[in-house]
Amino acid sequence: MKMTGAQIVMECLLEQGVDTIFGYPGGTILNIYDALYKYSDKIKHILTSHEQGASHAADGYARSTGKVGVCFATSGPGATNLTTGIATAYMDSSPVVFITCNVGESLIGKDSFQEVDITGITMPITKSNFIVRDVDKLADTIREAFAIARSGRPGPVLLDILKNVTAAETEYEPLPREQHYSSGRLAQLMKRASEDFRTPKPNEEDVDKLVQMIYASEKPMIICGGGVVRSRADKELNEFAEKVDAPVAITVMGGGALPGRSPLATGMIGMHGSQASNMAADGCDLLIALGCRFSDRVALDPETFANNAQIVQVDIDRSEINKNVPTDHHIIGDAKVVLKMLNEKLAQQHHAEWKDYVFSFATETEYDENKDKLTPKQVLRTIAEMMPQDTIVSTDVGQHQMWAIQHFHFDYSGQLLTSGGFGTMGFGLGAAIGAKVGNPDKAVIHITGDGSFRMNCNELATEEHYDAPVITFVFNNGTLGMVRQWQSLIYDHRYAATTLDRGPDFVKLAEAYGLKGAHVSTEEELRTAIQEALDSGRGYVVDCIIDLDEMVRPMVEGGKQITDFLVK
């Protein structure tokens, strides 16, 4: 069938089962949007206020549904506006295909209007990227892009299509998704790889060795990272944790894989890790890290991290092994597959005494709730109590993010959407909208701070227009709280450029976008606001006034030993 490049893009998206796209049009991508117009009964397009919002929405959609997110943008500034979103997806291994168009072949390299070398710019922040100059290679390249985004350790892929390619015509041969790996470039990739890169098979001996290490261990501990969440290995992790009978700490990216209220959960580990998690890491004799790369926010000091333990790393990406922390043993494979193998081989273990020791330390920080201001824990407890249990929670970055992970207690993989690796302020609202679009039956909330929210609050317009209700909770302390916390603790209270003694009034802002909102400063007001938000079924902004000097506790300074608490 003869088709234009733009139509082939649509057909290839349908091959992949894509029904939702986030994006923003412009000059060079017009042909694709013109085709989208004709395919609008099959593919829904969400127009955001800014390309960055679209990139985060596609990312949030991917993280919450487990499908590949798709995002469109035009050349030049459209493409560069995506870069923060691409880097965010890259650092957290989220599968998103970004499609940008560039100027036509005759204008390439001439510094034409809105021309930019986006494949060059995004090289270090994509799993792979492509520039499509030939319409005959278009379908094949799109199939390869999707395969790369979702296989192995997922990640973002960028396709830059020249404008003349979207207009050129060629023969399009439909190909069902199951056959993609046996045709074109993907077939070549499969042939030259020594192993099927879609499902690397863990080495049996490596698994057996870990089983023996578990039998020999008296004080085992498990760290659950983002890899477990990406492979949706909740069931396997729960069974494994119970069989090993070991405390389980989560990293920021691992939230949800083990229910937060499980008796084995010690909470977050690392810089703002709970006392129980950090003390366990220091005291254990076997540390099993699942899909976790020991970032500098977890293994604060690689030299002293888990010094008394043998460290075992389970990861799908070989290049993560020994990258940050030297390990004693490792298994290459998908968390779900490895855990299944382990569960089959393992006999039930018992470590009551070790658990008693670990859980003698606090798993959660207590706050004085008798003050006249709301405490972070109070806000989160109230939200968790009143919202449906499967509510999807998206966060921005800063104090509110840490509080949310410490106190909300996530129950399943994909419930928590947060920028753990890149730490992108302004991620939350876009991600929440993407999650709501992908999960229309679930409630979605957006936890943010007054600093983060101001960055991309323009997406309230998107939320309103597409009727994708998100309840935004602003932890409003009138400051860039996390930076202020460092200034208080490390910079002798010199508050340089962190005080946000300025607008906007977030409730008026919500109203300006056609939504409702409320300022709350007591638990009672908070409850009334949440109820109103739930009853209205529309987007809502709850502006929670909290204390300027409230801190995220505990805190260990970067580079220090994990039990060296600056504040408890």
Is residue 366 flagged as an active site residue? no
Catalytic residue among 91, 482, 551, 555: 482
One-letter amino acid at 200 equals P
**Residues touching other proteins: how many (CB under 8 A)?**
28
- Which of 317/547 has CB closer to other proteins? 317
Residue of 194, 344, 385, 492 interacting with other proteins (CB under 8 A): 194
The residue within the footprint of other proteins, chosen from 110, 176, 178, 319 (CB under 8 A), is 319
Neighbouring residues of 211: CB distance < 8 A, sequence distance ≥ 6: 342, 345, 346
The secondary structure of residue 546, as a DSSP letter, is B
Strands 555-556 and 565-567, by their bridges, are: antiparallel
294-313 residues in contact with other proteins (CB under 8 A) are: none
Q: Position of tokens 């010690």?
A: 266
CB of 129 to other proteins, least distance (A): 9
Three-point CA angle 31, 7, 21, nearest 5°? 75
Long-range residue pairs from 195-202, CB within 8 A, at least 24 positions apart, any chain = 197/151, 197/152, 198/147, 198/151, 198/152, 199/334, 199/337, 200/152, 200/316, 200/332, 200/333, 200/334, 201/333, 201/337, 202/331, 202/332, 202/333, 202/334, 202/337, 202/338, 202/341
- Establish if 119 lies at the interface with other proteins (CB under 8 A): yes
Judged by CB under 8 A, the stretch of 192-200, 493-501, 513-521, 558-566 that binds other proteins is: 192-200
Element (H, E) at 474: strand 471-476
Q: Which helix (H) or strand (E) holds 543?
A: strand 540-545
Stretch near other proteins under the rule CB under 8 A, chosen from 26-34, 321-329, 446-454, 541-549: 321-329
Six token digits for residue 102: 């560039």
Extract the tokens encoding 263. Answer: 């008796």
Told to check if 161 binds other proteins by CB under 8 A, we report: no
**Whole-angstrom distance, CA of residue 150 vs CA of residue 563:** 37
Q: How far is the CB of 199 from other proteins (least distance, A)?
A: 12
Which of 137, 175, 187, 206: binder of other proteins (CB under 8 A)? 206
Stretch of residues binding other proteins (CB under 8 A), selected from 174-182, 198-206, 441-449, 501-509 = 198-206
Task: Provide, rounded to whole angstroms, the least separation between the CB of residue 190 and other proteins.
Answer: 9
Point out the catalytic residue in the list 1, 42, 113, 524. Answer: 113
3-state secondary structure 296-320: CCCCCCCCCCCCCCEEEEEECCHHH
The interface mask with other proteins, positions 130-149, x = CB under 8 A, is: -x----------------x-
Q: Quote the CA–CA distance of 342 and 338 in Å, as a whole number.
A: 6
* Binding test (CB under 8 A) with other proteins, winner from 65, 80, 128, 343: 128
Work out whether 317 is an interface residue with other proteins (CB under 8 A).
yes
> Percent helix, strand and coil across the chain, each rounded to 5?
40, 20, 40
User: Is 567 an interacting residue with respect to other proteins (CB under 8 A)?
Assistant: no
Burial class from Cβ neighbours inside 10 Å (0-12, 13-18, 19+) for residue 182 reads exposed
Distance CA 489, CA 363 (A): 23
Kindly write down the DSSP assignment for every residue of 44-112, as one continuous string. EEEE-SSHHHHHHHHHHHHHHHSSPEEEEE-STHHHHHHHHHHHHHHHTT--EEEEEEE--GGGTTTT-
Catalytic residue among 51, 144, 320, 463: 51
How far is 228 from 207, CA to CA, in rounded Å? 17
Does position 465 interact with other proteins (CB under 8 A)? The reply is no
69 touching other proteins, by CB under 8 A: no
- The answer to whether 156 touches 100, Cβ cutoff 8 Å, is no
Minimum CB distance to other proteins smaller for 321 or for 443? 321
The only residue of 38, 42, 318, 568 in contact with other proteins, by rule CB under 8 A: 318
Kindly state whether residue 192 participates in binding other proteins, applying the rule CB under 8 A: yes
> Would residue 51 show up in a list of annotated catalytic residues for this protein?
yes
Select from 200, 255, 430, 481 the one that contacts other proteins (CB under 8 A).
Answer: 200
Residue with tokens 């709970």: 274
- Cα–Cα–Cα angle for 396, 401, 404, nearest 5°? 125
How near is the Cβ of 192 to other proteins at its closest, in Å? 6
Q: Binder to other proteins among 203, 304, 458, 488 (CB under 8 A)?
A: 203
193 binds other proteins (CB under 8 A): yes
* Stretch 340-399 residues interacting with other proteins (CB under 8 A): none
Closest separation between CB of residue 109 and other proteins, Å? 12
Indicate which single residue of 27, 66, 104, 152 sits in contact with other proteins (rule: CB under 8 A).
152
Residue 205 sits in the site that holds other proteins (CB under 8 A): yes
Q: Is 123 in the site for other proteins (CB under 8 A)?
A: yes
The residue (of 77 and 109) whose beta carbon lies closer to other proteins is 109
CB 351 within 8 A of CB 245: yes
Cα 381 to the chain's mean position, in Å?
A: 22
Q: Residue 105 interacts with other proteins (CB under 8 A)?
A: no
Closest CB to other proteins among residues 196, 218? 196
Catalytic pick among 44, 67, 114, 560: 114
Asked whether 203 and 170 are in contact (CB, 8 A), the reply is no
Question: Which CB sits closer to other proteins, 130 or 513?
Answer: 130
Taking the complex as a whole, the smallest distance from the CB of residue 131 to other proteins amounts, in Å, to 8
Sign of CA pseudo-dihedral 339, 341, 343, 349: negative
Q: Using the rule CB under 8 A, is 208 a contact of other proteins?
A: no
Cβ proximity to other proteins, 333 vs 420, nearer residue: 333
Which of 38, 42, 177, 201 binds other proteins (CB under 8 A)? It is 201
Tokens of 78: 């459209």
Per the annotation, the verdict on 268 as an active-site residue is: no
Q: Contact 103/114 with Cβ under 8 angstroms?
A: yes
Q: Is 216 in the site for other proteins (CB under 8 A)?
A: no
Contacting residues toward other proteins, per CB under 8 A: 119-120, 123-124, 127-128, 131, 148, 151-152, 189, 192-195, 197, 200-201, 203, 205-206, 317-319, 321-323, 332
Report, as residue numbers or ranges, the catalytic residues.
51, 113-114, 163, 482
